[in-house]
Chains A and B, each alone.
Chain A
Amino acid sequence: MLQTIQLTVEWLSVLLILLGALLSVFSAFGIIRLPDVYLRSHAATKSSTLGVLCVLTGVFLYFASVMQTASMNILLGIVFFFITAPVAGHLNGRAAHRTGVPLWTGSVQDELAEAAKAADVPDAGTSGPEASEAAKPDDMPGDLPSDRLPEETAAGRQEPVPEEKKE
């Protein structure tokens, strides 16, 4: 009976680890394929956090069942990743918006630019010397015409299409 429970928990933990690794692969796929920073951070924060949480939970269960040791490091790691990954994604997205990284041309809404305009807060980085150089006021992402994306972004977005056509 005890053996059966142990084996079940072991298989469950291994499957959790596999599921987490698959989620990490999906998030990497999203990071490669999605068109701009904001959509990419959607893939980079949510699914990769869920993936690493699944992996760590699986490893914790694996050691609990196989070695009969509960690893506090893994538990702390689970809590830590759960707290910090969204914070890091939020900080990165805000910094990107304030320094004027352009939105994808298919984006339909830019609520942060609207809110910053309504509250009369400088949005495109007026605080740092480098930031004010990088983003002039008329470079606001919300005001960007659709044909004015930097060449690299446009190339990165359109690059996969010809490859698929060749095949």
Chain B
Amino acid sequence: MQTILLIAMILLALAISGCLYRVLKGPSIADRIAALDTIGVNVAAEVAVSGAYTRSTAYFELVLLIGILAFLGTVALARYMERGRVLDAPDDPTDG
């Protein structure tokens, strides 16, 4: 059973490296953002599996934390790419 968990961790690491290739290669910024989001999700899964592998719940807060950080980072980057800024002024007519 530990062996299967180890195999799952190796597979997740493979997935992260695959996304890393897309982050480095591009070609557009949106590609990099999507790949970075997937990397964040996969890292959270990797942390959860490593918690199961070592049988400790110590890192489970990290799963939620990494998920929130990845989501906020994706939203901020996508908004910056779309509008040239992240936060809007309160009475901005261009805000969709």
Which of A's residues lie within 8 Å of B, judged by CB?
A: 10-11, 14-15, 17-18, 20-22, 24-25, 27-29, 31-32, 37, 40-41, 44-45, 48-49, 51-52, 55-56, 58-59, 62-63, 66-67, 69, 71, 73-74, 76-77, 80-81, 84-85, 87-89, 91-96, 98-99, 101, 125, 127-131, 150, 152-153, 156
Chain B: residues with Cβ within 8 Å of the partner, total of 57
Q: Which of A22, A27, A95, A125 has the most B CB atoms < 10 Å from its CB?
A: A95
Residues of A close to B12: CB separation below 8 A:
21, 24-25, 55
Nearest B-chain residue to A13, judged by Cβ: B52
Show 13 A/B contacts (Cβ-Cβ < 8 Å), sorted by A: A15-B4, A20-B8, A21-B12, A41-B30, A48-B38, A49-B41, A55-B45, A56-B48, A59-B48, A74-B48, A81-B41, A99-B82, A131-B81
Residues of B43-96 contacting chain A, CB below 8 A: 44-45, 48-49, 51-52, 55, 57, 60-61, 63-64, 67-68, 70-71, 74-75, 78-79, 81-85, 94, 96
